[in-house]
Amino acid sequence: MFGKNDMNAAKYGSIILITFVLIAGLAIPLSPSPQSWLEFPIIPGLEEKARNILYHVPVAWTTVVAFLVGTFYGFRYLKTKNFDDDIKSVSAAGLGFMFCLLATITGAIWAKFSWGSFWNWDPRETSIFVLLLIYGAYFALRSALETEEKRATLSAVYSIIAGITVPFFVFVMPRIMSGLHPGAKGDPDGAGPVVQFKMSPNMLVIFLLGLLGFTLFFIWLFNLRVRLARLEYQRSAHHS
């Protein structure tokens, strides 16, 4: 899939980027009228909590990417019946589940500081929770199926079916239901799935670097998991 050099690039790239974002995100001070590159603006209403954007959003983004990758390979399996596609699908799903947990936790932390309580059932919060449930259901289904062929086929079908509902609760619900997240119906800046954060250029750069870092992190872990799963798969063939 990816060559060794690409993987090294992804590995080190992600470690460097994430570390940088972690430090920069926490260390750079806020000031009312930022002059130099080393200052963040104060976003009214968010202030210090704005730092969470740099962590929470990339992680949430990665879980969606993982889900799409998993569903894509599931779909490929249905066409090709090649178990390697199923291996990729499960590996992506496992990572997606982990990132989803992280997204939920970082989201809950932000919620506590921004709005007072850890959980409020606003549309975005509900969406990430539902994604968590989808992952749980996916793995429950897999463990209830014995034949490899059935397991691969039915879990691929389920992830596609669940995937069909994702556009609904990501794009449609925040419009219909008012919520706490920016971008919901009651937001004075306008409702929409992708929020225009008023970020200064330096914040934007760090944010995008974070996005890139987490994506590379996902690619690297995905590659590792797939290789490991392939080895286990071959080993179990020789024993049966």
CB of residue 74 to other proteins, shortest distance in Å: 11
Residue 237 binds other proteins, judged by CB under 8 A: yes
Q: Which is nearer to other proteins, 67 or 217 (CB)?
A: 67
Among 28, 169, 200, 208, binds other proteins (CB under 8 A): 169
Phi, psi of 40 (to 5 degrees): -100, 150
Q: Which is nearer to other proteins, 128 or 206 (CB)?
A: 128
Q: Is residue 125 within 8 Å of residue 119, measured between CB atoms?
A: yes
Measured between alpha carbons, how far is 215 from 202 in angstroms, rounded to an integer? Answer: 20
Kind and range of the H or E element at 90?
Answer: helix 83-115
Considering only residues 122 to 161 of the shown chain, the ones binding other proteins according to CB under 8 A are 126, 130-131, 133-134, 136-137, 140-141, 144-150, 153-154, 156-158, 160-161
Considering only residues 75 to 94 of the shown chain, the ones binding other proteins according to CB under 8 A are 78
The CA-atom distances, in angstroms, between 143 and each of 61, 67, 138, 210 are 27, 19, 9, 35
Tokens of 224: 């590792």
Cα maximum dimension of the chain: 68
Measured between alpha carbons, how far is 149 from 147 in angstroms, rounded to an integer? Answer: 5
Q: What single-letter amino acid sits at 229? A: A
What character string, x for contact with other proteins (CB under 8 A) and - otherwise, covers 32-71? ----------------------------------------
CB of residue 138 to other proteins, shortest distance in Å: 9
CB of residue 92 to other proteins, shortest distance in Å: 18
Q: Which is nearer to other proteins, 115 or 129 (CB)?
A: 129
Residue 15 binds other proteins, judged by CB under 8 A: no
Q: Is residue 220 within 8 Å of residue 4, measured between CB atoms?
A: no
CB of residue 163 to other proteins, shortest distance in Å: 9
Measured between alpha carbons, how far is 40 from 37 in angstroms, rounded to an integer? Answer: 8
3-state SS class at 40: strand
CB of residue 67 to other proteins, shortest distance in Å: 12
Dihedral in degrees, nearest 10, Cα atoms 205, 211, 215, 217: 80
Residues contributing to the site for other proteins (CB under 8 A):
78, 126, 130-131, 133-134, 136-137, 140-141, 144-150, 153-154, 156-158, 160-162, 164-165, 168-169, 172-173, 175-177, 237, 240
